[in-house]
């Protein structure tokens, strides 16, 4: 598949087949992504591949905390503390599109909570990827990590797999680090669901919109 096609095909998938992902494919994805660029070749990425019983145990602990009202606290601020336009509207439209597709009414807080809880199970994908880096790394490494994460997602598409990058999982770093025996001096950046897309699932039927190139580009001759 050509890269331009892969870029357009990649999307956030929130329902997966009950089908394991071959370890050879996971290794191949990470082996390709490791070639992502990083400032002075720091390669700040550290990846945990969580499957099987380990995933079941971890996601149960996270979901239990969520349902108990523990909102968690990420190692860093992912979103702005105050939303302004046009980002506020884009965020709102993103959520509305999913809930409208699933026919979840605004007043139906129970169904909204149940849908949100699927985040903490990595949408029941067979693989949960978790991404860490050393806490003393700075802003440039976050930029490097973005390129690495995109490389993971594009490589997955090329192998017939689907992904969903998840900032939500990073809300519970204490639980995750404790369960996986990771030290506190690592920053948990995000998680990612990985598996085979359930193409018959309604939640996978919609696509978020993208701005036209002209809206974010200036040319200087």
Please report whether residue 143 resides in a domain.
yes
Please report whether residue 89 resides in a domain.
no
| 135 contacts: CB under 8 Å, gap ≥ 6 | 75, 185, 186, 187
Domain extent, residue 135, equals 3-79+120-208
CA torsion, points 61, 63, 69, 75, in degrees to nearest 10?
Answer: 70
Please report whether residue 50 resides in a domain.
yes
The runs of H, that is alpha helices, within the chain are 3-9, 23-33, 52-67, 87-101, 109-117, 139-158, 173-180
Give me the number of domains the chain comprises. 1
Angle between helices 109-117 and 52-67 (to 10 degrees): 150
Please report whether residue 215 resides in a domain.
no
pLDDT tens string 25-36: 999 999 999 999
CATH number of the domain residue 9 falls in? 3.40.109.10
Which residues of the chain are modeled with pLDDT < 50? none
Residue 1: its pLDDT value, please? Answer: 77
Residue 121: its pLDDT value, please? Answer: 98
Decide if 94 contacts 189 (C-beta within 8 A): no
Please report whether residue 111 resides in a domain.
no
Please report whether residue 109 resides in a domain.
no
Please report whether residue 110 resides in a domain.
no
DSSP per residue, 133-159:
EETT--HHHHHHHHHHHHHHHHHHHHT
Please report whether residue 130 resides in a domain.
yes
Give the whole-angstrom CA distance, residue 145 versus residue 186. 14
Task: Output the CA angle 196-198-201, nearest 5 degrees.
Answer: 160
């Amino acid at each position: 598949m050509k890269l331009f096609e892969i870029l357009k095909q990649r999307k956030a998938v929130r329902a997966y087949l009950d089908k394991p992902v071959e370890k050879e494919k996971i290794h191949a994805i990470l082996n390709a992504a490791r070639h992502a660029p990083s400032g002075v070749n720091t390669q700040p990425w550290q990846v945990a591949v969580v499957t099987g019983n380990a995933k079941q145990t971890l996601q149960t602990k996270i979901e239990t905390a969520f349902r108990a009202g523990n909102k968690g606290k990420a190692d860093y601020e992912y979103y702005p503390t105050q939303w302004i336009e046009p980002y506020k509207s884009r965020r709102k439209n993103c959520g509305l599109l999913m809930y409208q597709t699933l026919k979840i009414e605004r007043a139906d807080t129970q169904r909204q909570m149940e849908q949100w809880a699927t985040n903490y199970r990595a949408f029941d994908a067979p693989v949960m990827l978790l991404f860490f880096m050393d806490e003393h790394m700075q802003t440039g490494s976050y930029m490097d990590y973005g390129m690495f994460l995109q490389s993971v997602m594009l490589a997955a598409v090329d192998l017939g797999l689907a992904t969903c990058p998840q900032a939500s999982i990073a809300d519970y770093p204490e639980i995750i680090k404790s369960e996986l025996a990771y030290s506190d001096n690592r920053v948990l950046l995000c998680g990612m669901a990985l598996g085979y897309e359930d193409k018959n699932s309604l939640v996978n039927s919609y696509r978020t919109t993208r701005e036209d190139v002209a809206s974010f580009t200036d040319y200087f001759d």
